[in-house]
Chain A
């Protein structure tokens, strides 16, 4: 094998400099890489399963689908430190009187794209876990970036707009999108986080079990050696949103496996756990 070919989804134009930077970083390593960009995660999972790429930079949803498609004959190799502690928040207008998920009974809940773990699949699961059935809440779905598994954050912004427009009482959003708004500091007293999910895992590098560990392990070692304090590495880490690469912690995917094993339904009856993607 000359180069390890890695698949990634082009959810933003920034993906190109990120992957060119990572490719450059691996240029003189024991396992140089190249990358292939896909327009959506379903095509990427297809390519990984079909052996067209050796590794895929997957969302948590894409990882779960890869596990299912391969009957578990795949493995997560590494993830960002920030992928270990992802969370979903439910955000309402300040003074909403909502103190937790049970208070959403009879309320309007704005959710993001149907293939987004943080904005749709897990929020629907959390509602169900809280004992809310489909008839108990009104779901407003915003399928703003289907295929990108919520990476753009756009559907979460749309859901929050619905709250501001008084079309919804609460919006579900990932912790990174919420942090990006800086609403707590810049608009204090306007919004409130009414519920915060347990931490779960987000993206990872996924490989099929057919990838020889003699190749994958030196590759992972070199990835983990990327150093925040090294000026040459820093821009890549900043763009990709991490301080260091870490080994995966698979327990962080259990909630998503459970959510995606549910038949469609529950509180978020609009939710499809297997998104149909434009082909």
Chain B
């Protein structure tokens, strides 16, 4: 039986191109172990044994880190949910934040530990979000701890820049901290409908404050996709505010958190952007309270979570490649 299996393995991989996966019937542990050793000796990749067959890939699979393009590296943009409580209760909030939501903050000390490990796992930018991060009394310390290590963006509704919170904002380094401010429309109607009465005027005031203080401001709108006129008007407003095109972000509503409509997302359908919360590490910030998006409850060491995401994402990429190759229509 042993030699027959070797023949089957050689025959199967001989029929496909490098990088393609083949299945070979194998029903025993010993057979699977033999297939794995054969792959090791002959330069192929043993993928898995599924009880009745093994799956092999012709040729060596490159290291996952080599196969993922830099722009899709799961930790390139590392997200930190500083807290989950918020002064608003937006209708589409992907993590159901509101004034009644428990704070669940990461805390300054944990942020410091995370940030210290961030460069080693390939992080190039930090994104601090919530909730509303400026509800935290020590948000300036948190953001400085981040900005000391990597370029940092804080997501805010810009409605709280008064007194101590204004002082906190003023104390932040202009070159290391960017403000990503939520603004869903050029006029109050849509924005206030989605985010709460009076929020549009205060957001505009906050944008003006941030710009006056010399911060780089990015505008982020959340729309449902059928609002072309709103988008056009918002771009015109950004033009007037001097926000460059590259600092305008228009995203769709995801069917997560408080949203009752929107795009359905899964781990397989989202390029991962590793996101740390007080509750654990999540696949993507848009699903940071979705149990199906939870990668691990263990935040540190960061490399462990990153490795897990990379391996899983690599699997999705391979499967997508295989599906793409499975349906040649001509």
- A-side interface residues toward B, CB under 8 Å? 12-14, 16-17, 152-154, 157, 160-161, 164, 177, 180-183, 185-187, 190-191, 239
Contacts and interface: CB of A to CB of B under 8 A. Distances in A.
B18 A187 contact: no
Interface in B12-42: 14-18, 20, 34, 37-38, 41-42
Given A13-B16, A186-B34, 16 more contacts: A12-B14, A12-B15, A17-B17, A153-B10, A161-B4, A161-B7, A180-B10, A181-B3, A182-B6, A182-B41, A183-B3, A185-B41, A186-B37, A186-B38, A190-B2, A191-B3
A153 to B, nearest CB: 6
B236 to A, nearest CB: 48
Interface string B92-133: 000000000000000000000000000000000000000000
B6 A186 contact: yes
Contacts of A177: 10
Nearest to A153: B14
B11 interface: yes
A25 to B, nearest CB: 18
Closest 10 CB pairs of A and B: A13-B17, A187-B2, A182-B41, A181-B6, A187-B3, A190-B3, A157-B11, A157-B7, A14-B17, A180-B10
Interface of B: 2-4, 6-7, 10-11, 14-18, 20, 34, 37-38, 41-42
A181 B2 CA distance: 11
A38 B196 CA distance: 69
Nearest to A16: B17
24 contacts: A12-B15, A12-B17, A14-B17, A14-B18, A152-B14, A153-B10, A153-B14, A154-B14, A160-B7, A161-B4, A164-B7, A177-B10, A180-B10, A180-B42, A181-B6, A181-B7, A182-B6, A182-B42, A183-B6, A186-B6, A186-B34, A186-B41, A190-B2, A190-B3
Contacts, number: 54
Contacts of A181: 3, 6-7, 10
B10 A164 contact: no
Nearest to A190: B3
Contacts of B41: 182, 185-186
B155 to A, nearest CB: 42
B31 to A, nearest CB: 11
A183 B41 CA distance: 11
Contacts of A152: 14
B10 A157 contact: yes
Contacts of B20: 13
Nearest to B11: A157
Most A C-beta atoms less than 10 A away, residue of B2, B10, B15, B34: B10
A39 B41 CA distance: 30
Most A C-beta atoms less than 10 A away, residue of B3, B7, B18, B34: B3
Contacts of B10: 153, 157, 177, 180-181
B75 to A, nearest CB: 26
B11 A17 contact: no
